[in-house]
Amino acid sequence: MIKVTVWNEYGEKQKREEVAKVYPAGIHAAIAEFLDKEKDIEVKTSTLQDDERGLSQALLDGTDVLIYWAHCYHDKVSFEDSARVVDAVNRGMGVIFLHSAHKAKPFTGLLGTSGYLEWREAAEKERLFVTEPGHEIAAGLPLHFEIEHEEMYGEPFDIPNPEATVFIGWYKGGNVFRSGVCYTRGRGRVFYFQPGHETYGNYYLPNIQRVIVNAVRWASPRTHASERNSCPNVAPLEEI
């Protein structure tokens, strides 16, 4: 079983009426609901209001893949909280950053760049193109698909050159964006996926759910948790 934790800041701004009518129990609950239908995935949720901002060591130790949605409260996650996430990824935990997590401390901490991008909130159409049809995260998807309403995130996106760019997004307003990008950090896998503004309900779309389910499997650890200690003292391989 792949143990997934869906983390959402879920502050007051995500509980206001405009958002609650789309995601009554929060984005984390909506994502957990479709993941829970997968036989190989065991899912739980956490938020900023939980112990250690919902990113405690105990929680991370029991997580194979962390899904991270954040928008307005990046400052509430401390550098210490972020360092636990970064360390867990380096030791093998997978992480999927969604939408405006591009400015979250664990994102910038893992990638080492600012995450700056251009944006516009105009409920415009986005067309996502699969740029690596053979990639595990693109399995079962059409070569391009549309989202009727999404917040525009546009280039330049200040990220390191991705190891794989699985999706490129085009918007009605003319901008383009590297919407789905992959990295390896230490033993862990990192995926960023752009759609998911809180007032548009795009986590209910089958193609978006397919991307996230595929990404969970892709990001799941290749090593057992017990093998993930960072700096073991080892015996020589040959007589010295």
Which residues contact Zn ion by CB under 5 A? 100, 151, 197
> In whole angstroms, what is the distance from residue 13 CA to residue 16 CA?
6
Q: In what order do the strands lie in the sheet with 164-171?
A: 41-47, 2-8, 65-69, 94-98, 188-193, 176-185, 164-171, 118-130, 144-154
- Closer to Zn ion by Cβ: residue 28 or 228: 28
Q: Six-digit token pair at 190?
A: 């990192």
- Closer to Zn ion by Cβ: residue 9 or 64: 9
Beta carbons within 8 Å of 177's beta carbon, 6+ residues apart: 117, 152, 153, 154, 155, 157, 168, 169, 171, 194
> In whole angstroms, what is the distance from residue 134 CA to residue 210 CA?
15
**Least distance CB 184 / Zn ion (angstroms):** 27
**Least distance CB 149 / Zn ion (angstroms):** 11
- Closer to Zn ion by Cβ: residue 90 or 199: 199
- Closer to Zn ion by Cβ: residue 2 or 104: 104
Q: What is the dihedral of CA 178, 112, 106, 138, to 10 degrees?
A: 30
> In whole angstroms, what is the distance from residue 126 CA to residue 167 CA?
12
**Least distance CB 24 / Zn ion (angstroms):** 18
**Least distance CB 20 / Zn ion (angstroms):** 16
Return the residue nearest Zn ion (CB atom).
Answer: 197
> In whole angstroms, what is the distance from residue 133 CA to residue 143 CA?
7
- Closer to Zn ion by Cβ: residue 135 or 197: 197
**Least distance CB 148 / Zn ion (angstroms):** 15
